[in-house]
């Protein structure tokens, strides 16, 4: 049992001005790292790591956790403003964030991103503090069949993403899955569809595809429009109203739960959680047709979910010493460096530290709310930049990001190639979202399916006889059929009326 004295000591530690200063600084650096494409949480944390020597370990870790959370918010900001995510976790925010900002409501879009990020972060921290240990045990029950089921559940969202033309959606999905097969066969270790190019042996990073298909394709699209008499574009810095935020609460709570669970499973991560939350928000929405045109729920869901994955990822990190993502791996390295041993015993050996981290995370969410809302009006001013300058800047930023992600000139050319592919897809109404989804999930689906079949010695029933896997697969079937059934039911009703 945790003593009150321990909790009080941890709380006072975190409330000291010294800790708070570094927490706010961490969140601020994280926001900037998130906004810049190509700089992710892991890189940001590695960059500040050397400056934390000599700091109290709790303060240093709290600063890193702040950076991590700030980064999840920043990624969504770039997605909403320039049609490409600043970090992988912001991928799903683009679908409604960008249309809303284009409607001149950039302030509202960023406000929702900030509030949802903070709420998701805060709720996941509470869940972390309450159920970290049992949740870690639950996470261990996830093995290959379960990861496969999660991947299939994710893919089932294609049906609701491609509402206009399910066949074009399916083609886009298959194209995404094809791209995933490029690289190295994970079970023989031999190159596969790499065309003798070592740059392709690691596969194609999905951010490279996203930057091409969204940012460069958007640039090509915008460049085609005449801009002879461009007036200064109107935009509002107005934040969302209290009533709007309150209406989003159920979405944010649900998404935080999804983010927390997905984050707990090592190897899934922020972008997968964001996609699942986005789709669930659409399913629960009273106005699903508004999704894709700037629905506030469509912005709040992925952002609450991706920030909540941080609390989720802390579960295996603290309780098992297993890092679930790049950022978590750097934090684990830092903990070992400070002489801490994450594992089941850390809760009893270092209770003050663990509770300091929990309070630090909770206050980090508050710091993000304050900093995010203060920065929003200035970030929204990006929208005032005249279009020719903006799209030129986006082009430069896209190539810079490609360079930053892998350091390969080859990938810069890939961005251009995917820009052209994205432009053609857009021209002929192939939705890019299912393709990105397939890219995010494809590798996990392939490796976990093949691993599960080795585990079962070729017996396919392993996917349905294991309770968690079977349940998730059943949900996947329902999720796939839901939009189709819904259409049939509503048309039957109309026919009857």
Partner 1 sequence: MISTRNILASAALVLATSPAALAEVEWPTQSVMLVTHSSAGGGGDVMLRNLAPTLEAKFGISTNVDNRVGGSGAVAASWLVNQANPDGYTLKSVTPTQLITPLRSAGIPTYEEMTPIARLFLDPTTLYVHDNSPFQTIEEFLDHARENPRDLSIGIGSAGSLDQLVLQNFTAATEIDARTVPHEGGGDAVVALLGEHVDAVVGEPGQALTHLQDGTLRMLTVFQEERLDTYPDVPTLAELGYEVTSNKFRGIFGPPGMDPEMVEAIATALSELYEDDPWNTYWTEASLSAAFMGPEEFTEYLGVVNEEMREFIEGLN
- For residue 492, count other CB atoms closer than 10 A to its CB: 10
The answer to whether 189 contacts partner 1 (rule: CB under 8 A) is: yes
Q: How far is the CB of 407 from partner 1 (least distance, A)?
A: 7
Q: Which of 16, 130, 134, 198 binds partner 1 (CB under 8 A)?
A: 198
Positions 47 through 76 that interact with partner 1 (CB under 8 A): 50, 53
Binding partner 1 (rule: CB under 8 A), the pick from 201, 247, 400, 403 is: 201
141 touching partner 1, by CB under 8 A: yes
HSE at residue 167, side-chain half, CA atoms within 13 A, is 1
Residue 44 is encoded by which pair of tokens? 């940001």
Name which position in 343, 386, 388, 396 contacts partner 1 (CB under 8 A): 343
Closest separation in Å from C-beta 87 to partner 1: 17
Assess 190 for contact with partner 1 (CB under 8 A).
yes
Query: Cβ–Cβ contacts within 10 Å for residue 202, how many?
Result: 13
Q: Could you give the C-alpha distances from 124 to 207, 247, 261, 389, in angstroms and in order?
A: 26, 20, 9, 40
Q: Is 184 in the site for partner 1 (CB under 8 A)?
A: yes
Burial annotation 183-193 (CB, 10 A radius, 16+ → b, else e): bbeeeeeebee
**Does residue number 148 form part of the binding site for partner 1 (CB under 8 A)?**
no
Minimum distance between the CB of residue 329 and partner 1, rounded to whole angstroms?
Answer: 3
Q: Does 333 bind partner 1 (CB under 8 A)?
A: yes
CB 275 within 8 A of CB 283: no
186 binds partner 1 (CB under 8 A): yes
**Cα 336–chain centre separation:** 27
Question: Of the listed pieces 155-163, 304-312, 326-334, 369-377, which binds partner 1 according to CB under 8 A?
Answer: 326-334
Rg (CA), the chain: 22
Cross-strand pairs, 184? 191
Q: Are 157 and 283 in contact (CB under 8 A)?
A: no
Sign of CA dihedral 221, 281, 38, 27: positive
Pairing mode, strands 191-192 and 183-184: antiparallel
- Which CB atom, from 379 or from 402, has the smaller least distance to partner 1? 402
Closest distance to partner 1 from the beta carbon of 223 (Å)? 33
Contacting residue, 3, 4, 188, 496, with partner 1 by CB under 8 A: 188
Distance CA 83, CA 279 (A): 19
Q: How far apart are CA 310 and CA 92, in angstroms?
A: 17
Q: Does 345 bind partner 1 (CB under 8 A)?
A: yes
Please report how close the Cβ of residue 16 comes to partner 1 at its closest, in angstroms.
Answer: 26
Among 8, 249, 424, 455, binds partner 1 (CB under 8 A): 455
What DSSP state is assigned to residue 199? Answer: G
Nearest to 316 by CA among 489, 142, 177, 199: 142
| DSSP structure string for 357-417 | HHHHHHHHHHHHHHHHHHHHHHHHGGGGS-HHHHHHHHHHHHHHHHHHHH--HHHHHHHHH
Q: CB of 57 within 8 A of CB of 63?
A: no
Kindly state the smallest distance separating residue 85's Cβ from partner 1, in Å.
21
From residue 489, alpha-carbon distances to 169, 483, 484 in Å are 22, 10, 9
Which residue, 277 or 444, is less far from partner 1 as judged by CB? 444
403 forms part of the interface with partner 1 (CB under 8 A): no
The size of the interface with partner 1 (CB under 8 A), counted in residues, is: 50
Alpha helices, DSSP H, located in 187-241: 206-210, 217-224
Among residue numbers 243 through 272, which ones bind partner 1 (CB under 8 A)?
A: 266-267
Helix boundaries (H) for 141-241: 144-155, 158-161, 166-181, 206-210, 217-224
Q: Could you tell me which residues come within 8 angstroms of residue 334 by beta carbon, excluding any fewer than 6 positions away?
A: 45, 49, 52, 60, 61, 64
In angstroms, give the least distance from the CB of 400 to partner 1.
18
CB of 138 vs partner 1, minimal distance in Å: 10
Query: Binding residue for partner 1 (CB under 8 A) from 183, 351, 393, 470?
Result: 183
Q: Is 321 in the site for partner 1 (CB under 8 A)?
A: yes
Q: Give the residue, chosen from 17, 339, 495, 496, that forms a contact with partner 1 under the rule CB under 8 A.
A: 339
- With contacts defined by CB under 8 A, name the span among 31-39, 420-428, 446-454, 471-479 that binds partner 1: 446-454
Residue pointed to by tokens 């930023």: 397
**Binds partner 1 (CB under 8 A): choice among 202, 230, 289, 459:** 202
Residue 413 touching partner 1 (CB under 8 A): no
Residue 402 sits in the site that holds partner 1 (CB under 8 A): no
407 near partner 1, judged by CB under 8 A: yes
404 binds partner 1 (CB under 8 A): no
Q: Which is nearer to partner 1, 266 or 434 (CB)?
A: 266
**Minimum separation from the CB atom of position 322 to partner 1 (A):** 5
Q: Which residues bind partner 1 (CB under 8 A)?
A: 46, 50, 53, 140-144, 183-191, 196, 198, 201-203, 266-267, 316, 320-323, 325-326, 328-329, 332-333, 336-337, 339, 341-345, 407-408, 447, 451, 454-455, 457
């Amino acid at each position: 049992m945790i003593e009150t004295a321990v909790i009080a000591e941890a709380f006072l530690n975190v409330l000291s001005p010294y800790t708070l200063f570094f927490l706010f600084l961490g969140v601020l650096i994280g926001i900037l790292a998130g906004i810049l494409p190509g700089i992710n949480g892991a890189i940001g944390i590695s960059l500040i790591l050397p400056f934390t020597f000599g700091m109290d370990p709790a303060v240093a870790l709290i600063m890193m956790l702040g950076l991590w959370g700030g980064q999840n918010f920043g990624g969504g900001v770039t997605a909403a403003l320039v049609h490409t995510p600043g970090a992988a976790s912001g991928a799903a925010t683009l679908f409604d964030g960008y249309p809303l900002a284009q409607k001149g409501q950039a302030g509202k879009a960023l406000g929702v991103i900030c509030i949802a990020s903070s709420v998701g972060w805060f709720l996941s921290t509470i869940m972390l503090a309450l159920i970290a240990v049992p949740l870690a045990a639950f996470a261990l029950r996830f093995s290959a069949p379960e990861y496969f089921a999660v991947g299939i559940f994710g893919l089932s969202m294609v049906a609701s993403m491609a509402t206009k033309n399910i066949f074009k959606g399916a083609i886009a999905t298959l194209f995404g899955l094809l791209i995933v097969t490029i690289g190295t066969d994970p079970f023989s270790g031999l190159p596969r569809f790499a065309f003798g190019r070592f740059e392709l042996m690691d596969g194609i990073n999905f951010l490279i595809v996203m930057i091409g298909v969204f940012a460069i394709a958007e640039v090509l699209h915008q460049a085609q429009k005449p801009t002879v008499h461009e007036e200064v574009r109107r935009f509002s810095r107005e934040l969302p109203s209290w009533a709007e935020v309150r209406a989003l609460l159920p979405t944010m709570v649900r998404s935080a739960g999804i983010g927390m669970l997905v984050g707990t499973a090592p190897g899934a991560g922020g972008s997968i959680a964001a996609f699942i939350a986005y789709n669930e928000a659409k399913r629960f929405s009273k106005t699903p047709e508004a999704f894709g045109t700037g629905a506030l729920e469509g912005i709040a869901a992925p952002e609450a979910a991706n920030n909540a994955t941080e609390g989720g990822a802390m579960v295996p990190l603290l309780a098992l010493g297993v890092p679930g993502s790049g950022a978590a791996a750097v934090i684990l390295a830092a903990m070992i460096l400070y002489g801490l041993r994450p594992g089941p015993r850390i809760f009893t050996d270092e209770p003050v530290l663990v509770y300091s981290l929990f309070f630090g995370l909770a206050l980090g969410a508050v710091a993000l709310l304050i900093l995010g809302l203060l920065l929003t009006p200035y970030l929204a001013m990006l929208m005032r930049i005249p279009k020719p300058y903006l799209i030129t800047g986006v082009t430069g930023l896209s190539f810079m990001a490609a360079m930053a992600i892998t350091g390969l000139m080859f990938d810069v050319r890939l961005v251009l190639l995917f820009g052209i592919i994205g432009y053609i897809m857009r021209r002929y109404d192939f939705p890019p979202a299912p393709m990105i989804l397939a890219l995010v999930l494809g590798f996990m689906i392939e490796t976990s399916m093949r691993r599960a079949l080795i585990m079962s010695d070729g017996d396919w029933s392993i996917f349905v006889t294991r309770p968690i896997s079977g349940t998730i697969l059943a949900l996947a079937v329902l999720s796939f059929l839901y939009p189709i059934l819904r259409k049939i039911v509503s048309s039957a009703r109309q026919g009857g009326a």
